[in-house]
Chain A
Amino acid sequence: MLGKIWSFLGSVRFVIVLLIILAIVSVVGILIPQGLPAQNYVHKLGSFRSSIVLAIGLDHLFSTLWFYSLLGFLSLSVVSCSTTRLWKNFLESGRHHFLKSSADVQSLKFTSSFNARGAAPAVRDVLLKNLRGRLFGCSVQQLANGFQISAKSGRLKDIGSLMFHLSLIVLFVGGLVGKLGGFSVMQELGKGETAPVPGHDFRVRCDWFTVEKNEDGRVKDYKSKLAIVRSDGSTAVDKVIEVNSPLTYGGVRFYQSSYGEEPDRFSQAALKVVGPEFDSLGYDFTAAMDSTVVLAGSGISARAVRFVPDFIIDTETRQVQSRSSKPNNPAVQVLLTRGADTLSNSWAFVRYPDAHMGKGDYRIAFLGYEPQFYTGIQIKEDPGLTFIWIGLFCMTLGIIFLFYVPRTSLWLFVESDDGDSCRVTMGGTSNRHPSAFQEEFDKMCASFGSALKGRT
């Protein structure tokens, strides 16, 4: 009974049906958007249809138990088929079958014959050497008046088939190990910040982050200089990472994933002060966040003390807040001092150059700013990685063997006429295209013929 089930699982019919089911299920997974919040499905499909979708997990189809079961059946099928049919094929391809007589050669698709000088054993040895040089596996049968050689090539095809099928299991195992034993987290890091790495005693630090843009303002590249900091504070390794070029340390991979603008600071701001000490155009200067700039010739110090990307003020409490982290209404608060005196401490706006909240003789203009970016790093540890690499490598090798190695069988009869010459009758079959194989077959015959005629 168990044996019957096992061979059913390994049957080609079963795997065809299973592959088609998997294909249909996957199409469903494309048509129904995956991983949205439940209310989206209710909104889109109505309560009845969405309840079905949610009940059988069509909203996260590829991680449902029943989808895993389908993959499990596929694995069983692969193992069953590999251990029975594919293994038998592999053994069979190494077995040699001999023809009854040289007359049988004539029934083969490709035939040829030639005379060879030398005694039958010597001719046999030359042929064997030539055939093995062409990667044929050979076996010899003793005949009354000579020998029969059976030569086969293309065993790699069966090895390839086994490799290809079994690698699929390796990939599945790799995926499963990664899912169960690995982690993946997103980490936002500002310049100089460090973050812990889950499950390890080292930390990751961002030394700098940069966004490179084209003349037309489109993003060309973004890069972070990351450093791995050991528990004693020393730097283990550092690397400039970018998309397509992650950092690996201690089995953990750090990928450049995204970036964003810091909501509470800028990198550089262009500012202007208008006041009695300056001419009518005012005094232009740039300032970093929280650093004091002395305005030449006036004895006035300016300092950007606060930045919000989306300025809003509570009319009752007079508290300044940011409505969002988007730069909808960037505003800066600048403190102007001379010695111990505060001259002004007011807000200025990029979008509204005429609005000013300060009293007194001084006005600040916020001309623009360079955002301070943070970097978005994906930190991932995947213990299944080795399996995946081995699986992909073996599967690639397997598929090349399986599809591109031709299978050829040859039979050669070496029959001695008298003591010093032989008649070689040669025939063969191949799964290659007939005209291509004919060419190869003819070349082989010519090469064998010339190798043997040269002998004395």
Chain B
Amino acid sequence: MGSLNEIQFFWGAFIGYSLASLAYVAYLASEKKKIASFATVVMAVAFVLQTVAMVLRSLHVHHLPLTNMFEYISLFAWFAAVFYFIYLRIYRQQILGAFVCLIIFMLMVSASLLPKQAEEQLMPALQSYWLQIHVSVACLGEAAFAVGFAVSIMYMLKMALSEKSRFAARLPDLQKLDRIGYKAVTVGYPLFTVGALFAGAIWAEQAWGTFWSWDPKEVGSLVVWLIYSAYLHARITKGWSGLRAAVLSSIGFICTLLTFFANLVLGGLHAYG
């Protein structure tokens, strides 16, 4: 099982997600249910291929693939797909897939541009079981935010389009969008709080001798947390629920992405490949 196979599976998943995105866009344009079902099936195939890629990589490097930016984004996309499939089961809104799948597609594009070298030897600071806990739980939380982001985009689109718009009519009503967007954040927020901030702080204390050191990535995660905290409060407040909450949710996710990609620019303690 060389690393070559694993990268081939990654590209297979990449092509799958691209096809699924195209199909979902076609579904947005055409309203044909069959296209949406086709897109979902293609996405499921891509998901399986990606799963195989990640398992092969784990076997190859003898630890979970969580240690560089390529592996993280790939996992991010994978978790987002997991959440989408769960959502699809609960809410049966295939139109959500069009938005989530586009996000996954963009994540896969950015992953594909990053160095994909598998690294067996971890640097001393990463040799801890907190690596698995901190990174995977934080990633899971962020993936839930991605779904929340997709829903809040739908919310803002629905508000922006006129009521006569046929496209707007196909989107779920505002109340429902607000509720399922909120559900995504209520799943993501505890995971992010505990995984990114708390587990990160505990690990930092062990490895770096301090719970919190105002490292750019730490502050970035704090910003994400503050914005989603504001969102959760906004949703229960008159004048702040609805549109403003949707805007906060989208800003929260954009900050999540910025915090992640800022690794490439800002350096700091969290700069890993």
Q: Residue B88 at the A interface, CB < 8 A? A: no
Q: Residue A433 at the B interface, CB < 8 A? A: yes
**A436–B162 CA distance with the chains assembled, in angstroms:** 34
Q: Residue A2 at the B interface, CB < 8 A? A: no
Instruction: State which of A20, A30, A400 has its C-beta within 8 Å of the C-beta of B227.
Output: A20
Q: Which residues from chain A contact B226 at a C-beta distance below 8 Å?
A: 19-20, 22-23, 26
Q: Residue A13 at the B interface, CB < 8 A? A: yes
Given contacts A30-B216, A242-B124, A433-B90, contact A23 B230 (CB under 8 A): yes
Q: Residue A36 at the B interface, CB < 8 A? A: no
Q: Which residues from chain B contact A301 at a C-beta distance below 8 Å?
A: none
B218-239 at interface with A (beta carbon < 8 Å): 219-220, 222-223, 226-227, 229-230, 233-234, 236-237, 239
Cβ–Cβ contact B210 & A26, under 8 A: no
**A316–B201 CA distance with the chains assembled, in angstroms:** 56
CB of B127, distance to nearest CB on chain A (Å): 6
Given contacts A175-B212, A221-B127, A403-B186, contact A13 B237 (CB under 8 A): yes
Q: Residue A257 at the B interface, CB < 8 A? A: yes
**A151–B28 CA distance with the chains assembled, in angstroms:** 46
Q: Which residues from chain A contact B220 at a C-beta distance below 8 Å?
A: 30
Chain B: interface residue count, which band?
35 or more
Q: Which residues from chain B contact A219 at a C-beta distance below 8 Å?
A: 123-124
Instruction: State which of A257, A388, A392 has its C-beta within 8 Å of the C-beta of B209.
Output: A257
Given contacts A26-B226, A214-B121, contact A399 B262 (CB under 8 A): no
Cβ–Cβ contact B123 & A16, under 8 A: no
Given contacts A13-B240, A27-B223, contact A243 B207 (CB under 8 A): yes
Given contacts A19-B233, A396-B194, A399-B190, contact A26 B212 (CB under 8 A): no
Q: Residue A29 at the B interface, CB < 8 A? A: yes
**A16–B234 CA distance with the chains assembled, in angstroms:** 7
Cβ–Cβ contact B211 & A388, under 8 A: yes
**A83–B90 CA distance with the chains assembled, in angstroms:** 37
**A41–B134 CA distance with the chains assembled, in angstroms:** 34
Given contacts A29-B219, A30-B219, contact A19 B190 (CB under 8 A): no
Q: Residue B128 at the A interface, CB < 8 A? A: yes
Cβ–Cβ contact B207 & A16, under 8 A: no
Chain A: interface residue count, which band?
35 or more
CB of A20, distance to nearest CB on chain B (Å): 5
Q: Residue A220 at the B interface, CB < 8 A? A: yes
Q: Which residues from chain B contact A452 at a C-beta distance below 8 Å?
A: none
CB of B192, distance to nearest CB on chain A (Å): 10
**A266–B83 CA distance with the chains assembled, in angstroms:** 57
**A433–B179 CA distance with the chains assembled, in angstroms:** 10
Cβ–Cβ contact A30 & B262, under 8 A: yes
Q: Which residues from chain A contact B193 at a C-beta distance below 8 Å?
A: 395, 399
Q: Which residues from chain A contact B240 at a C-beta distance below 8 Å?
A: 12-13, 16
Q: Residue A255 at the B interface, CB < 8 A? A: yes
Cβ–Cβ contact B190 & A243, under 8 A: no
Cβ–Cβ contact A12 & B219, under 8 A: no
Q: Which residues from chain B contact A396 at a C-beta distance below 8 Å?
A: 194, 198
Q: Residue B261 at the A interface, CB < 8 A? A: no
**A13–B239 CA distance with the chains assembled, in angstroms:** 9
**A15–B210 CA distance with the chains assembled, in angstroms:** 28
Cβ–Cβ contact A16 & B237, under 8 A: yes
- Closest A-chain residue to B202, C-beta based? A392
**A192–B81 CA distance with the chains assembled, in angstroms:** 55
CB of B211, distance to nearest CB on chain A (Å): 6
- Closest A-chain residue to B211, C-beta based? A388
- Closest B-chain residue to A242, C-beta based? B124
**A22–B227 CA distance with the chains assembled, in angstroms:** 9
**A404–B262 CA distance with the chains assembled, in angstroms:** 32
B128-154 at interface with A (beta carbon < 8 Å): 128, 130
Cβ–Cβ contact B223 & A26, under 8 A: yes
CB of A217, distance to nearest CB on chain B (Å): 11
**A23–B224 CA distance with the chains assembled, in angstroms:** 8
- Closest A-chain residue to B267, C-beta based? A33
Q: Residue A90 at the B interface, CB < 8 A? A: no
Q: Residue B125 at the A interface, CB < 8 A? A: yes
Q: Which residues from chain A contact B216 at a C-beta distance below 8 Å?
A: 30
A179-228 at interface with B (beta carbon < 8 Å): 184, 214, 218-222
Cβ–Cβ contact B124 & A26, under 8 A: no
The 7 closest A-B pairs by CB, nearest first: A19-B230, A255-B209, A243-B124, A23-B226, A244-B128, A378-B209, A399-B190
Q: Which residues of A contact B (CB under 8 A)?
A: 12-13, 15-16, 19-20, 22-23, 26-27, 29-30, 34, 62, 175, 184, 214, 218-222, 242-246, 253, 255-257, 378, 380, 388, 392, 395-396, 399-400, 402-404, 433, 435
Q: Which residues of B contact A (CB under 8 A)?
A: 90, 121, 123-125, 127-128, 130, 186-187, 189-190, 193-194, 198, 201-203, 206-212, 214, 216, 219-220, 222-223, 226-227, 229-230, 233-234, 236-237, 239-240, 255, 262, 266
- Can you list 28 A-B pairs, Cβ within 8 angstroms, ordered by A? A12-B233, A13-B240, A16-B233, A20-B226, A22-B226, A26-B219, A26-B222, A29-B214, A30-B219, A30-B223, A34-B214, A219-B123, A220-B121, A221-B124, A221-B127, A222-B124, A242-B124, A243-B125, A244-B128, A244-B130, A255-B207, A378-B209, A392-B198, A392-B201, A403-B186, A403-B187, A403-B189, A435-B90
Known: A244-B206, A403-B190. 17 other contacts (CB 8 A): A12-B240, A13-B239, A20-B227, A22-B226, A23-B255, A26-B226, A220-B121, A222-B124, A244-B203, A255-B207, A257-B209, A378-B209, A396-B194, A399-B190, A399-B193, A400-B190, A402-B190
